[in-house]
Amino acid sequence: MHADEVRFVERQGARYYAIECPVCHAAYEHQVNPHLRDPGFLEEFRREIRMVAFDMLVNHLLAEHGDLIDEGAQ
Ligand SMILES: [Zn+2]
């Protein structure tokens, strides 16, 4: 798993971050806080957004692929 798997997209003036489950390839996409629109936002908060995106992915992995995680930890 690598941090670069988090993608940032911009559509119709709104920014989104997206992450894809490496197991089942389900895509999760969330809008970046629309109140933070200054051009430096994405660079400045890229790391924090990655952490939020990975939290989202970890929750998905635990909920949907808990068996795989237990197996991998042994
Ligand atoms: Zn999945």
Q: How many angstroms separate the Cα of 50 from the Cα of each of 2, 12, 16, 56, 70?
A: 10, 22, 12, 10, 24
pLDDT in the model for residue 7: 86
38: confidence class by pLDDT, cuts 50, 70, 90: low
pLDDT in the model for residue 64: 94
| pLDDT tens, position by position, 15-30 | 888 999 999 999 988 8
| Better pLDDT: 69 or 73 | 69
Q: Around ion ligand 1, which residues have CB less than 5 A away?
A: 21, 23-24, 26, 64
46: confidence class by pLDDT, cuts 50, 70, 90: confident
- Domain containing 23 equals 3-73
41: confidence class by pLDDT, cuts 50, 70, 90: low
The CB density around residue 32, as the number of other CB atoms within 10 Å, is: 19
φ, ψ at 73 (rounded to 5°): -80, -15
Q: Structural domain tally of the chain?
A: 1
Cα 67 to ligand 1 centroid, rounded to whole Å: 12
